[in-house]
Chain A
Amino acid sequence: MAKILSGLLANDTLYDREKVERVPTRNGYGEGLLELGKRRAEVVVLCADLTESTRVEAFTKAFPERFIEMGVAEQNMASVASGLAAVGKIPFIASYAVFSPGRNWEQIRTTICYNEQPVKIGGAHTGVSVGPDGATHQALEDIAIMRTLPHMIVVVPGDVHEARKATIAAVDIPGPVYLRFAREKTPVFTVPDAPFAIGKASVLRDGDDVALIACGPLVYEALLAAHALEREGIAARVINNATVKPMDTETIIAAAQECGAVVTAEEHQIAGGMGSAVAEVLAKERPVPMEFIGMQDRFGESGSPDTLMDEFGLRAQDVVAAAKRAIARKKAGL
């Protein structure tokens, strides 16, 4: 039996998509920064002309002397943060993920990771659920480009409470951290004081027919999928794999071993994402049939978040279908 997270929200509304409470995960970034500002004098925040939508605005008002407005200059932002870290600051930088860590990837590689400076990168507006802004503003590659960098830690919080806790936890990591946030209101599935640690996956539901391993807004879709599968007599284990790197291999390998079939789900390109990282672990340690829910090598487009999640196959029903495919392959010995 897997150890189930004690802090999963346990009320009637959790599995009701219409009634569940929804808050954007980026709000958790803003709340976490505000709290860190009070606790840690060395925390500074840099933003590239997006203080409101990245939610760092509250920090800028509470601690104006520790906020640096960069203007539209993400490359400069990454390297200025490196310089600040070199003189004892703990910088948190904020923009949309397409621009940071997208546009400034090389600066992050050389001046932050290779330089071993503890800069924390907050990437907002990830996934197609960004919606009407369209493909230019929907980051779908950021997990891949961050997790391939030595020294980088990659965290994808599943709801607002996790986002707040991940932001606060990042300050004590001695090196660089990438924190990935969504734009839209994301269902809240944990309670505020649920345990959270960077590097630890949490099991939200137990089961041994198939393991649903998800991160970000897709964790909720995986929960709904498990709920639906239960009614068909299929016991799905749901794992919130919030830390993509370093991965909680113990929890992931145990899930593969005990379930024999795995589905990964994320709002990111399948190539190089969280699912790829799981596959890298399982191909070596415990190969089992795997299915991948994510973007299938294409860009998003404009539309309402709900329409886009439906159209690109990022819903609970898609996870259910993938789970059945994985189970069928397991039974067929494929």
Chain B
Amino acid sequence: MASLSDEKAQSLEAIAAKIRRDTVEAVIRAGSGHIAGPLDLADIFTALYFHVLKHDPKNPLWEERDRLVLSNGHVCPVQYAAMAHAGYFPLEELKTLREFGSRLQGHPHRPSLPGLETSSGPLGSGLSQAVGMALGFKMDGKKNAVYCIMSDAEQQCGQTWEAAMLAGKHELDNLTAIIDRNNIQIDGMTEKIMPLEPLREKYEAFNWHVLEVDGHNIEAIADVCDEARAIYAKPVVVLAHTIAGKGVDFMEFDFRWHSKSFKPEEAKDALRELRTLGGKIENPHAE
């Protein structure tokens, strides 16, 4: 049975469109920052903050909340946009991204912004923290779920596999990792830089349950997260197949957009494209 009604799915798609637009605007305004990853994760963050996670934006330290650990901190603009839309802080604050004194640091800083569960940027340590949280909840017999978003390039970090091994050992079925499988990293395509495949078999060999999903189908993302919660005695990893730069035609699949920012005319084109994407994006900034 589908987790979302058609109506809910459509409303989440509309929210994802706004999150994409606000993410791009914030990065343009900041003048630097990663953009391809944030765009391809917009649908996943929307599904998490608006359907999957048990959380309360008005009470970010609520003890019973699920934990969302962002491991690949460089995609934080999309998390900030999703959090703002969810009600953690005013949308207006997105304009401060990367500014001195802002709570929206270039890479996330947990103590600055209630609602963030960790500080990240250096790759490969998020899964370990998520494992620590999941272990802590198990020790206390608590029901909180732990989610961890990782990039695919992070699967090249040795520490990721140290964490995977420990999660398998402790049968952490309260842990769901989501890998943004967009196939790009700073220096090129992942399979050329350092091949990751077969990723499914690697995780299975570490005693994980592996699921796959179209990372741009919000209904499917909601379903796969429900399915993950039903798995017993194994941690779950979701290989989310995404398109880097999703929503902006000239960025899609192009690794060069991993960490570069827009030139003014490119920014204009990107926003125009996002506004017309499948008719799902409203046009609040008509020229």
Which A residues form the contact surface with B (CB < 8 A)? 44, 65-66, 68, 70-71, 73, 75-76, 78-89, 91, 106-107, 110-111, 114-116
The range of chain B's interface size is: 20 to 34
Which residues of chain B from 123 to 155 have a CB within 8 Å of any chain A CB?
125-126, 128-137, 139-140, 144
**B165 at the binding interface (Cβ < 8 Å):** yes
**Most chain B beta-carbon contacts within 10 A, residue among A66, A91, A107:** A107
- A86-B67, A114-B109 given as contacts; is B139 within 8 A of A80 (CB)? no
Which B residues form the contact surface with A (CB < 8 A)? 67, 69, 109-111, 117-122, 125-126, 128-137, 139-140, 144, 158-159, 162-163, 165-166
**Most chain B beta-carbon contacts within 10 A, residue among A81, A86, A87, A111:** A87
- A70-B166, A110-B122, A115-B118 given as contacts; is B158 within 8 A of A80 (CB)? no
Residue among A44, A65, A71, A110 making CB contact with B125, cutoff 8 Å = A110
CB A73 to nearest CB in B, in angstroms, measures 4
Establish whether residues A110 and B135, one from each chain, have CB atoms under 8 Å apart when the complex forms: no
Beyond A73-B166, A87-B136, A87-B140, 20 additional contacts (C-beta under 8 Å) are A75-B125, A75-B128, A76-B128, A79-B125, A79-B129, A80-B128, A80-B163, A80-B166, A83-B118, A83-B131, A83-B135, A84-B133, A84-B136, A86-B118, A86-B133, A88-B136, A88-B140, A89-B136, A107-B125, A116-B110
CB A26 to nearest CB in B, in angstroms, measures 25
User: SS class of chain A's interface: helix, strand, loop or mixed?
Assistant: helix
- A80-B129, A111-B118 given as contacts; is B162 within 8 A of A66 (CB)? no
CB B67 to nearest CB in A, in angstroms, measures 7
Q: Which residue on A lies nearest to B69, using beta carbons?
A: A83
What are 10 pairs between A and B in contact, CB < 8 Å?
A: A80-B166, A82-B129, A83-B128, A83-B134, A84-B132, A89-B136, A107-B125, A110-B121, A110-B125, A111-B120
- Top 10 closest A-B pairs, CB basis? A83-B132, A79-B128, A76-B162, A87-B136, A83-B129, A80-B132, A73-B162, A84-B132, A83-B133, A79-B125
Q: Which residue on B lies nearest to A76, using beta carbons?
A: B162
Residue among A71, A75, A82, A87 making CB contact with B159, cutoff 8 Å = A75
| Bound: A60/B67 CA distance, A | 28
| Bound: A73/B136 CA distance, A | 19
- A73-B166, A111-B125 given as contacts; is B139 within 8 A of A66 (CB)? yes
Residue among A81, A107, A115 making CB contact with B110, cutoff 8 Å = A115
| Bound: A88/B67 CA distance, A | 13
Q: Which residue on B lies nearest to A116, using beta carbons?
A: B111
Residue among A65, A71, A76, A86 making CB contact with B139, cutoff 8 Å = A65
Residues of chain A lying within 8 A (CB to CB) of residue B136: 44, 83-84, 86-89
| Bound: A83/B163 CA distance, A | 12
| Bound: A68/B132 CA distance, A | 10
| Bound: A78/B140 CA distance, A | 21
Residues of chain B lying within 8 A (CB to CB) of residue A114: 109, 119
CB B174 to nearest CB in A, in angstroms, measures 11
Residues of chain B lying within 8 A (CB to CB) of residue A79: 125-126, 128-129, 132, 159, 163
Q: Which residue on B lies nearest to A91, using beta carbons?
A: B132
CB A67 to nearest CB in B, in angstroms, measures 11
Residues of chain A lying within 8 A (CB to CB) of residue B134: 83
Establish whether residues B130 and A75, one from each chain, have CB atoms under 8 Å apart when the complex forms: no
| Bound: A89/B137 CA distance, A | 10
Establish whether residues B163 and A76, one from each chain, have CB atoms under 8 Å apart when the complex forms: yes
Residues of chain A lying within 8 A (CB to CB) of residue B110: 115-116
Q: Which residue on A lies nearest to B130, using beta carbons?
A: A83
